[in-house]
């Protein structure tokens, strides 16, 4: 086994940022997503025609990346999706933007994934 491989696989490479959300009267921890979570979200972002649909993944990004800074526990679950999407759009955007930036998940990467997925289907 390679020592470099072991070093990489054991590295704690999660990044996080505290995000003040005045609309909620709270500061939350937003963490980067794992490669597996990002791939799942990118797959969800791609419509049947291979187009990117950011609205489909918006709540998934927030659910997967928002944490309670005191307990380290996730703030939301998939069961909160509908209620979460009824919250202030500006607050949701703050959280989703930070989560996306920390994860290297941008509209450009979703567009590219959509093109790549549509090629694979053909």
Average pLDDT over residues 103-118: 55
pTM, full prediction: 0.77
3 in a structural domain: no
CATH number of the domain that residue 63 is part of: 3.30.2220.20
The answer to the question of residue 1 being in a domain is: no
Residue 47 belongs to some domain of the structure: yes
**What pLDDT does residue 107 have?**
60
69 within some domain: yes
Number of structural domains in the chain: 1
- Which is nearest to 43 in space by CA: 110, 107, 119? 110
Confidence check: pLDDT of 112 > 80: no
In a domain, 7, yes or no: no
What whole-number distance in Å separates Cα of residue 50 and Cα of residue 71?
39
58 within some domain: yes
Look up the domain containing 57 and give its range: 13-121
- What average pLDDT does the chain have? 85
Q: Residue 4: pLDDT band by 50, 70, 90 thresholds?
A: very high
pLDDT tens digits for range 30-55? 999 988 888 888 787 778 887 777 77
Q: What distance in Å separates the CA atoms of residue 12 and residue 14, rounded to the nearest whole number? A: 6
pLDDT digits (tens, 9 = 90+) for 101-110: 998 876 655 4
Whole-number pLDDT of residue 119: 42
């Amino acid at each position: 086994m390679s020592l470099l491989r072991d070093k990489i696989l054991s590295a704690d490479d999660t990044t996080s940022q505290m995000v003040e959300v005045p609309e909620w009267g709270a500061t939350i921890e937003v963490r980067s997503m794992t490669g597996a979570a990002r791939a799942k979200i990118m797959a969800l972002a791609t419509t049947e025609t291979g187009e990117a649909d950011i609205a489909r993944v918006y709540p998934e990004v927030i659910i997967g990346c928002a944490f309670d800074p005191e307990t380290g526990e996730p703030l939301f679950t998939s069961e909160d999706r509908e209620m979460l999407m009824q919250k202030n759009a500006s607050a949701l955007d703050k959280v989703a933007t930070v989560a996306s930036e920390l994860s290297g998940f941008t509209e450009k990467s979703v567009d590219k994934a959509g093109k790549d997925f549509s090629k694979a289907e053909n």
